[in-house]
Copies of this chain bind each other. A is one copy, B any other.
Amino acid sequence: MQQQTYLKGCLSAIVLQLLQENKRMYGYEITQRVREITAGELLLTEGALYPTLHKLEAEGVLSTENALVDGRNRKYYKLTENGHQQAQTAVSELSDFVSNLQKILNLKPSLG
């Protein structure tokens, strides 16, 4: 088992959190940002990230704009007006989840 295992379910919320902090980001940038923040411990695979981005776009949470930078195509994603709401909700729920996980992991041994 690796840390990646635990990522399941959190991916959308992580993307939304990053997009709350940055007006717009492109896919590759998101993978690198997570790598930076976690010192390489957490790696988003592209095969997981892009379907998530597309899903969020289809749901109207994200909108996109294409740009040509240094001859390469980039697809920037940003929160829609509606998306800001949902981002806040998702991030707040993830925070609560982290807090609960913390409680579970910090329990003192009980007498069995």
Contact = CB atoms under 8 A, between A and B. Distances in A.
Q: How large is the interface on A (under 10, 10 to 19, 20 to 34, 35 or more residues)?
A: 35 or more
Q: How many copies does the complex hold?
A: 2
A108 B91 CA distance: 14
> Chain B CB within 10 Å — which of A10, A12, A24, A34 has the most?
A10
Most chain B CB within 10 A, of A5, A12, A41, A42, is at: A5
Chain A contact residues: helix, strand, loop or mixed:
helix
A72 interface: no
Interface stretch (A15-23, A47-55, A62-70): A15-23
Interface of A: 1-3, 5-10, 12-14, 17-18, 21-24, 34, 37-38, 41-42, 89-91, 93-98, 100-112
